[in-house]
Amino acid sequence: MTASNPVSLSRAEGTVLDALAKLKKRVNVIELVETLGLDQATIFGASTSLAEKDLISIRESEEKYARLTEEGMIRSKVGLPERIVIDYLVQKKGGNSEFDSLKHDLHLADDEATLALGWLKRKNWANTTKEAGKLYLRSTSKPQKGPDEEMITKLSTVSEITLSSLDQEQKIEAESLLKRNLIHVATRKSRTLEITDVGLEAVRRGVVVVEEVTQLTPDMIRSGEWKKAKFKTFDVSASAEPTFIAKYHPIVELIEEVREIFLELGFEEIKGNLVESAFWNFDALFQPQDHPAREMHDTFYLTSPSKAKLPDQSIVKRVAQTHEDGWETGSTGWGYRWSKDIARQVILRTHTTATTIKYLASHPNPPVKVFSIDRVYRNEKVNYKHLAEFHQIEGIIMDKDASLADLMGILKEFYNRLGFEKVRFWPSYFPYTEPSAEAVVYIERKNTGENGKESDVGRWLELGGMGIFRPEVTLPLGIKYPVLAWGQGLERLFMIRTEGVDIRTPYKNELNWLRTIPEMQ
Ligand code: PHE
């Protein structure tokens, strides 16, 4: 660059340089967005090229900033629960009232009321007494707007606050708002700019603004105009405002993916009832009536209706007899007295095998190749890896010469398509299949040790049950050919895919989590 030639810049570069020359101090790109009316990406791009010409200097750092969550946004309008209660108590109740009546008057939900009570005490705005078994609330002061409320109000107008701009006390407040899920904190790259002496000198001499071309058109190529044009450069590493586009819920995505695989493998989808008789869920599958899985701690029983219809008499009779002495299946049965009443109990299905077996009973002719992805219920204590309501994936194949080798082949293909390269089968047990097996897949994981060497810390994980339905299951239903079957939980697959996300998380509808979780496929 010679001293006599004015620098030529793009319009955005010129605007940014001008602004920096006037400000003569280090400024954040965010502030320039507001003052210049240019978007962040444009300023980022312009500043990168200005810095390359030594006209400005850039400093980059990570910056944490807080924004209101959805809940915070609502609270900024209606007030915190403790504020709603205290205002009503002081203004309408003379500072003293029974808590239940306040709760009723203000239409507070139980958890909201508990929250309000906790914070009223913590903030020393009110105290409680118990009289004749009733809880009374008495205000202790006329509470001023607290620093937490100030911060919420501020955030509702400025939309975000950088954490580094907060003093020690405000930081503590932010911490508490974070715990109450009223704000969330995110990190982004922050960039500050300052004009250099070279830049100041350039501005003093005057810069030439050259219009930049953002799009190359056929016309420009034909006329040769492109040779003279100055093309806009894009800084693809510039950070920009995150945008949250609409997308499917990750569980729905996974269901879709599994459905696609089944369809590609030539299966047809079936749907069945969530509410089913014990007959189809257990008896038809040769599970004895005193089987532990039927007990109250595993199965949800309905009290209304309390009795289900059973299928055709002849089917029921054959199933009953098979349980008792094996009927004509070649088995000796379980050797107990089968009860119709137990079979008529109404339950929420505990597995989708209830649906596939019922389907087979009404489609006894080969070939049958169907699948189901649907909800099942088990009376389980909910924790990070167990849900009481979840999904099962289930497939069956009935054909004249279907064999265990076919089942292993198709399952290997099925799991390969789901992304598991190594698949094995271990012997297992189910009351309705023989042989029975468990499909296990290898989960790859590598560890880099201190010496920089990679070691394999992957492991084999059981994914699902499989087998060939026993004659005690098929013959009483009039099914004459081998039935290959397998089933597994969908959420288990989800946990593997997400490397151990708490199984309850996808069902909490936490917007931030849903927005940031990567696509499943
Ligand atoms: N129903 C079994 C379960 O709920 C899975 C299974 C399906 C096993 C079909 C064998 C055959 O775990």
CB 81 less than 6 A from any atom of ligand 1: no
pLDDT tens-digit readout, 253-302: 999 999 999 999 999 999 999 999 999 999 999 999 998 888 877 899 99
Model pLDDT, residue 521: 61
Model pLDDT, residue 4: 58
By CB atoms closer than 10 A (0-12, 13-18, 19+), residue 23 is middle
**Nearest Cα to Cα of residue 212 among 405, 59, 9, 44:** 9
Report the nearest atom of ligand 1 relative to the CA of 351.
Answer: 4
3-state secondary structure of 345: strand
Q: Alpha helices, DSSP H only, in 236-350?
A: 250-264, 278-281, 313-325, 340-343
Q: Which residues pair with 184 in a beta bridge?
A: 67
DSSP 42: H
- Quote the ligand 1 centre to 47 CA distance (angstroms): 61
- Quote the ligand 1 centre to 445 CA distance (angstroms): 28
Order the strands of the 134-139 sheet from edge to edge: 96-98, 134-139, 126-131
By CB atoms closer than 10 A (0-12, 13-18, 19+), residue 137 is buried
Q: Tell me how far apart the alpha carbons of residues 472 and 284 are, in angstroms, rounded to a whole number.
A: 9
Model pLDDT, residue 3: 53
Which of 276, 298, 351, 398 for mutating ligand 1's site (highest number of atoms within 8 Å of CB)? 351
The domains found in the chain, sorted by start residue, are 7-60+189-231 (1.10.10.10), 70-139 (1.10.10.10), 251-516 (3.30.930.10)
- Quote the ligand 1 centre to 467 CA distance (angstroms): 8
> pTM value?
0.63
Percent of the chain with pLDDT over 70: 98
CB 377 less than 6 A from any atom of ligand 1: no
CB 395 less than 6 A from any atom of ligand 1: no
- Quote the ligand 1 centre to 475 CA distance (angstroms): 19
- Quote the ligand 1 centre to 322 CA distance (angstroms): 21
Q: Tell me how far apart the alpha carbons of residues 208 and 428 are, in angstroms, rounded to a whole number.
A: 79
Mark residue 478 as left, alpha or beta (left: phi above 0; alpha: psi -120 to 50; beta: remaining): left
Which of 430, 438, 469 for mutating ligand 1's site (highest number of atoms within 8 Å of CB)? 430
Q: What residues of the chain score a pLDDT lower than 50?
A: 1-2
CB 484 less than 6 A from any atom of ligand 1: no
3-state secondary structure of 443: strand
pLDDT tens-digit readout, 436-495: 999 999 998 888 777 778 888 889 999 999 999 999 999 999 999 999 999 999 999 999
